[in-house]
Structures are given as structure tokens and as C-alpha cells.
Amino acid sequence: MWGELALAAGAGAGAIFAAMLLLWLVSIPLKDASIVDIFWGPGFALAAWAAVAVAGGDPARKWLVAALTSVWALRLGVYLLWRKRGHGEDPRYTALVNHLGAEKRHRITLTRVFLLQGVIMWIVALPVMAAPVWREPLGAFAYIGAALWLIGFLFESIGDWQMARFKADPANAGAVMDRGLWRYTRHPNYFGDACVWFGLWLVACDHPLGFALAISPLLMTYFLVKVTGKALLERRLKRAKPDYAAYVARTSGFFPLPPKG
């Protein structure tokens, strides 16, 4: 089993880093390192399918993991591609390299953007690379995980759809979105994303080794809450929208709860 597990993890790593290198090469003529964000979802699907291709585990688990990861990845990738249309490089990436010469810029984007995200992606993807190896039939953890994945997928999808509709209405310019799911949590999309990855981790927990892969959803949630997601976005919104402080005071920061007051 250990050899097959290493093979699946290696196949996933090879697929991720080959794709990251190709994306980096594409980003050079485009002068846009932020295209890496569009690949954030599809990269996990690529890792899952690479593992499925070399693993000999229970077929039902292999297809379940591949399907759940791919549906989530496709929706997120298409949504981020749609949101990016007509925009250039994300200012976060521009600020990282805009003071550098071309040669150093390309080196920094390769190491600190594409390869670094590749490493993080590989760690988070561990359950979807390991689960296809398990020969155990689908059990209670897999079914609970699939149910949690569905809850997370709905939260993320509906939250993004509600926000897109809100922003599309010119009457809402400068206003704070506090309707629908956003009435109960300031970040239904991030909460949903965390649920998706805890669900995928649980699918891998029908084998005892799956529990050791809890680093995957924990790392994903840490980034969503403390690094690239909630914390970064809220700092910007507090500066840009005077009404945001009142929204923060009455609305849960992550877990959906009834609003205060």
C-alpha cells in the first residue's frame, strides 16, 4: 500500500507542477501572474485524476473522489475566469513584482507564486490523492463526507451567485451585501469551501490513515480565514465601505448564525 500511496502522491505532484510550470510560461507574455488563481480549483481535479489513474483502490471511492473534486473545481475555475474577464493582473501580484526588472520578476513569480501555490495545492490535495488507494468499500465516513461536501458546495455556489447579482445592480454601488446567505455569515463562499475540503477529507477517512491527512482541510481553512481570504478582504472592505463596520458587528464572521440585533 505504501508504494501505491507514494505513486499516487507522486503522480499528483507531477501533474500539479507540470501545469504550474506551463502556466508560468504562459504568464510571461501575458504579463499577468494572477492567472494562477483561475487554476486554483482545476489543479486539485488534475491531482485527483492523476492519482485515480495509478491507484488500484475501490472503484466506487475513486470515482466519488474524482467526481466531487472535479465538480467543485470546474465551478470555481469557471467562476474565477468569468470574474477576471476584462481585467489585467491582480494588484496583489503586481505589487509583488512591479519594482523588479523582467528577469527577476519572472524568477520571483515562478518561485513565490506558481511553485509556492503548487506546494500548498499538493498538501491540501493529499486526501483526494490518497483516497483512490484505499481498497475499503465506501463506509459511513465517505457518506458523511459527501453530504458535508454538498452543503459546502451549495453555500459556495449560492453565495457567489448572490454576490454576483448584487454587484451587477448599479443601485448597490458602494453598498454592503447583507442579503441571502450573506445575512448569516460574512463569507458564505469561504465557509462553503472549508466544508467542501472537510468533506473530501472525510471520504478518505474510511481508512485509518485518512485521519492523519487532517492537515488538508485545516490548511485550506487557515488560508481562507487568516491569509488570502477573509482577513485580506475584510481589511480592504473596512477601508472602502463605511457601513461595513456595522455589518461586521451584527453578522457572524464565518459560521452561519442568526444576525445580532
pLDDT tens string 50-88: 999 999 999 999 999 999 999 999 999 999 999 888 787
For residue 140, give the C-alpha cell. 459511513
Measured in whole angstroms, how far is the alpha carbon of residue 49 from the centre of its chain? 17
Q: How confident is the model at residue 94 (pLDDT cuts 50, 70, 90)?
A: confident
| pLDDT tens column, 9-48 | 999 999 999 999 999 999 999 989 899 999 999 999 999 9
What is the pLDDT at residue 236?
85
